[in-house]
Amino acid sequence: MPGAMIRRTLGAAALLVGLGFLTAAPLAAQEAEGEPEISHASEECIHLLEDGGEIDDCQKAPNQLVPEKNEVIWGAFGFVVVFGFLTWKGVPAIKKTMEARTERIRGDLEGAEAAKAEAQTVLDEYRAQLADAKAEAGRIIEEARQAAEGVKRDQEARLQTELAAMRERAAADVESAKTQAIADLRGEVASLAIGAAEVVVGKNLDRDTQTQLVEQYIASVANRN
Amino acid sequence: MTVSDDRTTAYARAMFDVARAEGDLSRIGDELFRFARALEGSDELRDALIDPHLPASRRQQIVEDLLGGKANASTVALVSMAVGAGRARDLPAIIDSLVAMSAAEANKSVAEVRSAIELTDDQRSRLGAALESATGKQVDIKVVVDPTVLGGIVTTIGDTVLDGSVRSRLERLKQQF
């Protein structure tokens, strides 16, 4: 596991740094035990006087940015130790981790590529299905349109037939009504005429005429044979 | 045959026997026949004779007022009897049955003659002879004066109709319109 390895490496580096400080402190204490305790400022003043400086130079404030020499030596030593340890253990671990990460990223990329290809395949299939669906929909719509056209033509034909039949019936009804009206009128005229004739005949049929009609009837019956 | 037909026949038979017993069957038959036709042609007379609210004596009085002095006493008595018995509604059918019995007894067919005027005996005789010659049957003529024929005669013998009336001529003329 790269993460665990990095954590172990960093832990070891911190341990080494801590050991460096622990070893530097006793050495400094050992130096102090061998000679009478002189302050750092006095020691620097002595050095200045030995180098031909004047006493006034001792009154100047030391440079706070420049560390002690032994501190620089031990610090450099610790740095080298830590750097060497890190180079010895950390770099391979980091390299291994990076390689694993690279492999993982490559695998992820390949997976993504495969997924992309698969998605592309699915997309192509979807597009093909969509195209088929569109074609099917177009075919269905065309069939529906043709069916609707057929129904429309049939309805128009039936409507025309019914209209023709209705016109024919209407014409026949009109003709029948006309004929009936003429017949009724004729019958009415006939009834009026016959009624008038009956009145006239009834008034003009006197006894002699009635007798003559009876005689004609008797003669006609006798002559039936 | 229904109960009504049985009663009609029974009444006709009884009246026939009475008329024959009186010895003037032909005349009584003629008068009854005319009365039957008059009854059929007059709603007012029929309603009066079948009115159940009128007492029988009143209805018989109407008959006697109508026929008294104009018809044979036996004819008046027979009609009065039928009306008093509440058979006025069936009287035309009873009389027709009686006339048919009379004609059948003489081996004749009833010839119903409707004329606008009354026929003389000579005309009846010559018409009877002509009808017998035309139909080949012995006929018993029953004349009914019917002004609706306007002129001429209509004779009905069974299902045979010999129509020589002015009315039928006018009707034929109407059909030709």
Whether residues A194 and B153 touch (CB distance < 8 A) is answered with no
Give residue B138's identity as a one-letter amino acid code: Q
pLDDT score recorded for residue A223: 87
Average pLDDT over residues B151-156: 92
**Any chain A CB within 8 A of the CB of B115?**
yes
The closest of B129, B117, B97 to B166, measured between CA atoms, is B117
Q: B105 near B98, Cβ under 8 Å?
A: no
Q: Which residues of B145-160 are buried (b: 16+ CB within 10 A; e: fewer)?
A: ebeebbbbbbbebeee
Q: How far apart are CA A27 and CA A20, in angstroms?
A: 11
Question: Any idea of the CA torsion for A203, A206, A212, A214, to the nearest 10 degrees?
Answer: 70
Whether residues A190 and B174 touch (CB distance < 8 A) is answered with yes
- Binning pLDDT at 50, 70 and 90, where does residue A148 land? very high
Q: What is the pLDDT of residues A21-35, one digit of tens each?
A: 555 544 444 454 555
pLDDT score recorded for residue A2: 53
Of B116, B129, B171, the CB nearest to A210: B116
**Any chain A CB within 8 A of the CB of B133?**
yes
Interface test with B, best of A184, A214, A224 (most B CBs within 10 A): A214
Whether residues B152 and A220 touch (CB distance < 8 A) is answered with no
Share of chain B above pLDDT 70, in %: 98
The closest of B33, B56, B113 to A217, measured between CA atoms, is B113
Share of chain B above pLDDT 90, in %: 42
Give me the helices (H) in A35-90, please: 40-50, 55-58, 69-85
Interface test with A, best of B139, B153, B167 (most A CBs within 10 A): B153
pLDDT score recorded for residue A225: 65
- Least confident window among A43-57, A210-224, B97-111: A43-57
Q: Minimal Cα distance from B163: which residue of A?
A: A217
Taking the CA of residue A201 as centre, how many other CA atoms within 13 Å lie in the half-sphere pointing to its CB?
Answer: 21
**Any chain B CB within 8 A of the CB of A221?**
yes
Average pLDDT over residues A72-97: 90
**Any chain B CB within 8 A of the CB of A193?**
yes
- Enter the ipTM: 0.77
Domain B1-106 coded CATH 1.10.520.20: yes
- Binning pLDDT at 50, 70 and 90, where does residue B105 land? confident
Give residue A199's identity as a one-letter amino acid code: V
Whether residues B173 and A218 touch (CB distance < 8 A) is answered with no
**Which helix or strand (DSSP H or E) is residue B127 part of?**
helix B121-135
Q: How far apart are CA A14 and CA A35, in angstroms?
A: 34
> Domain extents for chain A?
2-126
Cβ-Cβ pairs closer than 8 A, A with B, add up to 77
Q: How far apart are CA A29 and CA A22, in angstroms?
A: 11
Whether residues A214 and B133 touch (CB distance < 8 A) is answered with no
The SS3 assignment for B142 reads: strand
**Any chain B CB within 8 A of the CB of A225?**
yes
Alpha carbon separation from B15 to B93, B95, B96, B176 (Å, rounded)? 12, 8, 11, 47
**Which helix or strand (DSSP H or E) is residue A161 part of?**
helix A91-204
DSSP string, B41-89: H-HHHHHHHH-TTS-HHHHHHHHHHHHTTTS-HHHHHHHHHHHHTT-GG
Whether residues B133 and A225 touch (CB distance < 8 A) is answered with yes
Whether residues A210 and B117 touch (CB distance < 8 A) is answered with yes
Phi/psi for B120 (5° steps) reads: -80, 165
DSSP string, B88-122: GGGHHHHHHHHHHHHHHHTT-EEEEEEESSPPPHH
pLDDT for B100 beyond 80: yes
> Domain extents for chain B?
1-106, 107-177
Share of chain A above pLDDT 90, in %: 45
Interface test with B, best of A188, A198, A221, A225 (most B CBs within 10 A): A221
pLDDT score recorded for residue A110: 92
